[in-house]
Amino acid sequence: MDSSSTPTPASDGPSEQPVVVVCVGMAGAGKTTFMQRINAHLHAKKEPPYVVNLDPAVTYSPYQSNIDIRDSVNYKKVMEEYNLGPNGGIMTALNLFTTKVDQVLGLLEKRAAPDPENPSRKPIKHILVDTPGQIEAFVWSASGSILLDSLASSFPTVIAYIVDTPRTSSTSTFMSNMLYACSILYKTKLPMIIVFNKTDVKDASFAKEWMTDYEAFQEALDNDQNSNAFGGQEGEGAGSGYMGSLLNSMSLMLEEFYSHLSVVGVSSVQGTGIDEFFEAVKEKADEFRRDYQPELDRKRAEREEVKKKQREKELDKMMKGMSMGNVASTSAPGDIKLEDDDMEPLSPDEASEDELDDEQDREGLQARYEASMLHQEDSTAADASFAKYLHSQR
């Protein structure tokens, strides 16, 4: 049995990487309860996940986190120190935590790899990430983008957008949620799963039908308009009013958006639909490797090429500056100047030897500089000036 399982990691390669599930959603959508449910589900299957909490303002968490932002940043002290409100405190706490993103990725990569010292410990298969209820503080902030990009650069990453199903029973609130989901999809450029939560209170079949059947949504929209659900003037008929025409136009626009989504209905309280959710996670992870990973690799290669060109440009500029400095130093103030008649011209052999020595010095110095920069390829020190390197060599 051991011999048959040995070649599997080598043959699968990147497919053995854990999948990152980032849970986002409006406040009150049930993200924390959903996180607790999928965490318990994986524990029951003897596949415990690695849990990351990015909500600094949560006071009680029903599940245990392996990495918790509250262990690194005190949300209340941040608000007091910087005189911030609740949203500003969350964003500042995320900014402070983002400075440790390298350490976070190091821990995740360590747990994703087999442990030679403890072979019985299985590498993790899922990384669950909980985010603040103030969704805009995470999705639209610089720190949120850095965290998501960092996770996606190392692991297949999937966005789970949690929707409060009972609150989306009207066409207007449903369309608001879909527009927000659409903006997150095109902002993050990551595979997305729409999770209609709280199906124990209201079944999500109506929402799935609205996403796949344009006529069904139009019928529901007409019913809302006839019942004056949008607060229009008395006597207005179906199809009249700004809200009705807006929702009608947006439903046409989102038709293509729906085709790129996986939709599941779950009950975080009862646990129904969780198996279907993880099937969707597997499909989206495969989609990430197939469609998203090549684009990420291409962008990463472009960034590395730009950094390389910048370093080469800086190096060339500094080398030219050193050459000009050497020429200027021969006529610096205070030096003894020789008259033209007193100067003995160099022979062609001596001149060529001097030029060769200068060229060798330049090449040797450049090689040492480039070797030094290779050791700092992934750090901010890779962009340090060449002058600082020269100073350290004296």
d(CA 156, CA 21): 9
The model's pLDDT over 113-128, given as tens digits with 9 standing for 90+, comes to 888 888 888 899 999 9
CA atoms within 13 A on the CB side of 356: 6
Which helix (DSSP H) or strand (DSSP E) does residue 52 occupy?
strand 50-53
What pLDDT score was predicted for residue 370? 61
CA atoms within 13 A on the CB side of 72: 21
Q: What is the DSSP letter of 343?
A: P
> Hey, which residues does 128 pair with through a beta bridge?
21, 51
What pLDDT score was predicted for residue 144? 92
> What are the start-end ranges of the H helices in the chain?
2-5, 7-12, 31-44, 75-82, 86-98, 101-112, 135-139, 142-154, 171-188, 205-212, 214-226, 242-253, 255-258, 274-287, 293-329, 348-374, 386-392
> Hey, which residues does 52 pair with through a beta bridge?
67, 129
Tokens of 335: 């030096």
d(CA 300, CA 304): 6
d(CA 251, CA 243): 12
Greatest CA separation found in the chain? 108
What pLDDT score was predicted for residue 223? 86
Name the pTM for this structure: 0.72
What residue ranges of the chain have pLDDT lower than 70?
Answer: 1-15, 228-241, 324-394
% pLDDT > 90, the chain: 43
Which helix (DSSP H) or strand (DSSP E) does residue 26 occupy?
none
Residues counted in the chain: 394
The model's pLDDT over 146-177, given as tens digits with 9 standing for 90+, comes to 999 999 988 999 999 999 999 998 888 999 89
Tokens of 320: 């030219």
Provide the terminal-to-terminal Cα distance of the chain, rounded to the nearest Å.
61
Distance of CA 366 to the CA centre of its chain: 36
Distance of CA 95 to the CA centre of its chain: 14
Tokens of 101: 């993103």
Tokens of 51: 């849990």
What pLDDT score was predicted for residue 272? 95
